[in-house]
Chains A and B, each alone.
Chain A
């Protein structure tokens, strides 16, 4: 099973894997080889790739997941290896976004996005 992770800047990953766990918008999805075709909306969280006993972890920043022909394409605006997450920046974003005022639904959505982005990063970086 092939897994391809693409960001607008470059193709970050193009590897063979045994198992992929991706953070969907409303929960995690696990994908084994020969999964049925699927298009999913990604949330902010941890992408895990398993090959044998080895697990690689990434933080993905929203985007999409497409599974077809035994190829998993992950389209995301950012994919950061778990070891490279900037914890202080994420914490700062969390406190700042929590303090943000939201008067209408649109502003609330903006705040929610910032909060879940920061929380996702903090969850991956443990």
Chain B
């Protein structure tokens, strides 16, 4: 027969853990809301940039920029993996590490000189454990990535690209599709390919076929503006990756902690049942002893 006291102890510890996971779930929910607000605040900027680009194309400007064109020979490539600084968020980091590892191996087969940059402590330790050397690591990104910080990384990458030290940049991150769905995606950010920030929405094309809404005056010239728009849209894209990743992390943690709490509830239930049974069994045994003793005397 199981010892009731041991069972009770286990039940208590499960209860304590449940308290922790429940709190973590609540914290993750609050953080997710904040991250979500930030992500939606950022869309106002991207919308305006898209509008600007469509206005530029409407003015009959040929869109061409070194950042948009694929290089004939890719000698140097970089892979940026965005993971979380903390664990306890289900398969979030594991999936990213696996995808990053796969992509890096693929990239290595294609390009002679590859560098790996990782953001987030979990990804850094995970990839190190798998024996993959990391060239650059960032740990400053928490649940609120700041544009300044992303801008610094983006500027470094752009400078490398401009000076020919980098020909291709891939980013592995968790894309936020909806609250119920986030997927690990690999995206090539350099060369940019197209300027469409909201690829997949489909309404921007329709707009550009319409006649010019305003006759804009360009200062100093459309070409000069384009020269600035392209790097900016790269920075915004990268920033969006970071924001998506932050939101997805909080969602993953929320879901993981929710199921942990539920599991703890189930465990408590089954432990309680076992405990009660053991206790009752003991009482019955003692009663049997007593009755047996009385019978023997009489």
Chain A, interface residues (CB within 8 Å), range:
20 to 34
- Is A39 in contact with B219, judged by CB distance below 8 angstroms? yes
Whether the pair B147, A68 counts as a contact (CB closer than 8 A) is: no
Residue in chain B with minimal CB distance to A113: B155
Chain B contacts for A52, CB-based, 8 A: none
Q: What secondary structure prevails in chain B residues at the interface with A? A: helix
A62 in the interface (beta carbon within 8 A)? yes
Which of A10, A37, A75, A104 has the largest number of chain B CB atoms within 10 A?
A: A75
> For the complex, is A81 an interface residue (Cβ under 8 Å from B)?
no
Assembly CA distance A62 to B154 (angstroms):
15
Q: Which residues of B contact A54 (CB under 8 A)?
A: none
Task: Judge whether B216 is part of the interface by a CB distance below 8 angstroms.
Answer: yes
Contact B220 A26, beta carbon cutoff 8 Å? yes
Measured CA separation A34–B79 after assembly (Å): 48
A62-B228 contact given A8-B42, A41-B220, CB 8 Å threshold: yes
Indicate if A11 sits at the interface (CB-CB under 8 A): yes
Q: Flag if B162 contacts A106 (CB, 8 Å).
A: yes
Q: How far is the CB of B34 from chain A (nearest CB, A)?
A: 12
Report A-chain residues with C-beta under 8 Å of the C-beta of B225: 39-41, 64
> Which residues of chain B are within 8 angstroms of A7 by Cβ–Cβ distance?
45, 147
Give the number of chain B interface residues (Cβ < 8 Å): 37
Q: A39-B225, A40-B219, A64-B229 in contact; A8/B163 too (CB < 8 A)?
A: no
Among B9-17, B47-55, B83-91, B129-137, the one that faces the other chain is B47-55
For the complex, give the distance between the alpha carbons of A103 and B162 in Å: 13
* 24 A/B residue pairs, CB under 8 Å, sorted by A: A6-B44, A7-B45, A8-B236, A9-B38, A9-B146, A10-B41, A10-B42, A24-B220, A37-B216, A38-B217, A38-B218, A38-B219, A39-B217, A39-B219, A40-B220, A63-B228, A64-B49, A64-B52, A64-B228, A64-B232, A75-B49, A77-B232, A78-B151, A107-B163
Which residues of chain A have a CB within 8 Å of any CB of chain B? 6-11, 24-26, 29, 36-41, 62-64, 66, 68-69, 73, 75, 77-78, 104, 106-107, 109-110
